[in-house]
């Protein structure tokens, strides 16, 4: 009897161990791989901006000084069997000290657009965007984009989005309806020639709306964020959706959340899919002051309606969740670069996934960083591959910066394969127990 009981305990223990092992394997943290500039040095702020398309990524370093202090640069990496490998370092053909080339970046196929918010046009510091194209493995500058009506300190190219031959550029400090009311510009390419197609300003724009703080373009749809808009309360924020017909862009809808409140900054970040829009509201107080949130909207028959409000499971005051984000299909990756995971403002990022019309948090990326490293200050996602910028990482020197590649985690619970493994092992263990406990006469 004692031997039988012992065997039973052994079998149960084996099953428990197998279950624990399978669950542990399925719940293991998703690996993060650090990406560094080949010539990175202190104060480069590599990772301040990131963008990716397929197996190509571009990472901005506005503090780099190849053409003078803080002239800036951007690095192109390609993913292969050995991981991410640097393919090129991009700089402006007329780069100059203080231009901050790399402040923003966008990529679509073999075209990269890099913003230099302090670049000068005709001697005026207004900002510019530079277009680069790839032929084989070689990148060359194709165009320099600037507003036809540029004015000093517009912060043109502080936000950039690219879709095929269309590029959207934000200038949140432009003054069409008063100081810093903001504007956005659409540029299109024909052959190798780029031209300004439209200047977009909200018809109800007002001073300090900061329209153009965030921009996103996908096909014939453009979205611009105005986090300073006061429709719901002071700086509650809003976003404007425009659609293109021919060469004309018309307002489709102005969106603001029903629960928008004072200084939520709804529209500080936007991410756009075919008929899905995600809007960041990093100063929202859902989990305490400036804990942050993000709203998901879906379009049907030309009308956008709220589908979900996303907040992290462990949100806390000051996280600034929703300051940066990227959308790919039913997956969205959202940064919270002021999250205090391992130190003040070490930062984190969250993965959310849609099933039908329901969105769920499926993973939190929270590596151990030092204070003020700001993991998640820039976010990019394409398919199941993502990037998170860490502009103040000190691996190559103080604030040299880094970026981390990640795999989008679809679940943090044991997968179906883990359950099948458990049941198979359980059957083996039970079978062994039955055989070992049969009477000797039956053997």
Residue 437, in any domain of the structure: no
SS3 4: helix
Whether the predicted pLDDT of 243 surpasses 50 = yes
Residue the block writes with tokens 């949140």: 172
pLDDT of residue 29: 55
Tens digits of per-residue pLDDT, 12-44?
343 333 333 332 223 345 679 999 999 999 999
Q: Answer with the residue of higher pLDDT: 440 or 23.
A: 440
Q: How many domains does the chain have?
A: 1
For residue 182, the domain's CATH number is 2.130.10.130
Residue 441, in any domain of the structure: no
Whether the predicted pLDDT of 70 surpasses 60 = yes
Residue 189, in any domain of the structure: yes
Asked if 165 and 189 count as a contact pair (C-beta separation under 8 A), the reply is: yes
Residues 386, 296, 375, 380, CA torsion sign: positive
Q: Stretch 395-424: mean pLDDT, rounded?
A: 69
Tens digits of per-residue pLDDT, 338-350?
999 999 999 999 9
**Is residue 418 very low, low, confident or very high in pLDDT (cuts 50, 70, 90)?**
very low
Asked if 139 and 90 count as a contact pair (C-beta separation under 8 A), the reply is: yes
Residue 19, in any domain of the structure: no
Residue 84, in any domain of the structure: yes
Q: Stretch 378-407: mean pLDDT, rounded?
A: 97
pLDDT of residue 381: 98
Whether the predicted pLDDT of 8 surpasses 50 = no
Q: Stretch 127-134: mean pLDDT, rounded?
A: 98
Q: Stretch 426-442: mean pLDDT, rounded?
A: 40
Q: Stretch 177-183: mean pLDDT, rounded?
A: 97
* Order of strands across the sheet that contains 303-310: 269-272, 276-281, 293-300, 303-310
Q: Stretch 156-184: mean pLDDT, rounded?
A: 98
Tens digits of per-residue pLDDT, 47-56?
999 999 999 9
Instruction: Tell me the β-bridge partners of 198.
Output: 186
Residue 439, in any domain of the structure: no
DSSP classification of residue 68: B
Percent of the chain with pLDDT over 70: 86
Asked if 352 and 332 count as a contact pair (C-beta separation under 8 A), the reply is: yes
Contacts 24+ apart (CB under 8 A), 275-279: 275/299, 275/300, 276/307, 276/327, 277/216, 277/223, 277/239, 277/241, 277/304, 278/310, 278/325, 278/327, 278/332, 278/334, 279/225, 279/239, 279/255
Nearest to 317 by CA among 294, 292, 337: 292
Tens digits of per-residue pLDDT, 142-160?
999 999 998 899 999 999 9
Q: Stretch 162-179: mean pLDDT, rounded?
A: 97
Whether the predicted pLDDT of 400 surpasses 60 = yes
Residue 424, in any domain of the structure: no
Structure tokens at 297: 């909207």
Q: Answer with the residue of higher pLDDT: 30 or 324.
A: 324
Whether the predicted pLDDT of 195 surpasses 70 = yes
pLDDT of residue 443: 31
pLDDT of residue 12: 37
pTM, 2 dp? 0.87
Output the CA angle 105-402-411, nearest 5 degrees.
Answer: 85
pLDDT of residue 82: 87
Whether the predicted pLDDT of 11 surpasses 60 = no
**Is residue 333 very low, low, confident or very high in pLDDT (cuts 50, 70, 90)?**
very high
Whether the predicted pLDDT of 274 surpasses 70 = yes
What φ, ψ does residue 27 adopt, rounded to 5°?
-100, 5
pLDDT of residue 22: 31
Domain with 206 in it: 28-412
Q: Is 369 exposed, middle or buried (0-12, 13-18, 19+ CB in 10 A)?
A: buried
**Is residue 411 very low, low, confident or very high in pLDDT (cuts 50, 70, 90)?**
low
Whether the predicted pLDDT of 393 surpasses 90 = yes
What φ, ψ does residue 224 adopt, rounded to 5°?
-125, 135
DSSP states of 378-427? EEEEETTEEEEEETT--TTSTT-BEEEEEEPPS-SS--HHHHHHHHHHHH
Compute the mean pLDDT over every residue in the chain, rounded to the nearest whole number: 89
Structure tokens at 432: 């062994």
SS3 395: coil
Percent of the chain with pLDDT over 90: 83
Q: Stretch 271-293: mean pLDDT, rounded?
A: 97
Q: Stretch 242-260: mean pLDDT, rounded?
A: 97
């Amino acid at each position: 009897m004692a031997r039988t009981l012992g065997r039973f305990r052994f079998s149960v223990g084996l099953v428990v161990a197998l279950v624990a092992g399978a669950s542990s394997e399925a719940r293991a943290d998703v690996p993060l791989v650090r990406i560094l500039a080949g010539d990175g040095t202190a104060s480069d702020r590599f990772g301040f901006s990131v963008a990716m398309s397929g197996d190509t990524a571009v990472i901005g370093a506005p503090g780099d000084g190849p053409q003078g202090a803080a002239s800036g640069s951007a690095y192109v990496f390609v993913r292969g069997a050995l991981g991410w490998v640097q393919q090129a370092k991009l700089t402006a053909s007329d780069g100059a000290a203080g231009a901050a080339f790399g402040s923003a970046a966008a990529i679509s196929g073999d075209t990269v657009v890099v913003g230099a918010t302090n670049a000068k046009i005709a001697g005026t510091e207004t900002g510019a965007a530079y277009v680069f194209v790839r032929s084989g493995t070689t990148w060359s500058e194709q165009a320099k984009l600037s507003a036809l009506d540029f004015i000093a300190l517009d912060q043109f190219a502080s936000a950039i989005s690219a879709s095929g031959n269309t590029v959207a550029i934000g200038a949140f400090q432009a003054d069409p309806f008063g100081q810093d009311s903001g504007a956005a510009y659409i540029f299109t390419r024909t052959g190798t020639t780029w031209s300004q197609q439209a200047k977009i300003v909200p018809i109800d724009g007002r001073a300090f709306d900061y329209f153009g703080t965030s921009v996103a373009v996908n096909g014939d749809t453009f979205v611009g964020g105005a986090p300073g808009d006061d429709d719901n309360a002071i700086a509650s924020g809003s976003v404007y959706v425009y659609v293109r017909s021919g060469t004309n862009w018309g307002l489709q809808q102005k969106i603001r959340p029903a629960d928008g409140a004072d200084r939520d900054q709804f529209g500080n970040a936007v991410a756009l899919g075919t008929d899905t829009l995600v809007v960041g509201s990093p100063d929202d107080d859902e989990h305490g002051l400036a804990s942050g949130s993000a709203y998901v909207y879906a379009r049907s028959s030309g009308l956008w309606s709220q589908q979900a409000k996303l907040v992290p499971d462990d949100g806390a005051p000051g996280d600034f969740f929703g300051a940066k984000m990227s959308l790919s299909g039913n997956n969205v990756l959202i940064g919270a670069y002021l999250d205090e995971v391992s130190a003040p403002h070490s930062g984190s990022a969250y993965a959310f996934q849609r099933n039908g019309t329901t969105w769920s948090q499926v993973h939190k990326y929270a590596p151990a960083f030092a204070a003020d490293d700001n993991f998640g200050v820039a976010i990019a996602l394409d398919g199941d591959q993502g990037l998170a910028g860490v502009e103040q990482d000190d691996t190559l020197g103080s604030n040299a910066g880094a970026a981390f590649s990640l795999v989008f985690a679809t679940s943090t619970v044991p997968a179906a394969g883990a359950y099948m493994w458990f049941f198979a092992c359980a059957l083996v263990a039970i079978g062994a127990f039955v055989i070992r406990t049969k009477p000797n006469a039956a053997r």
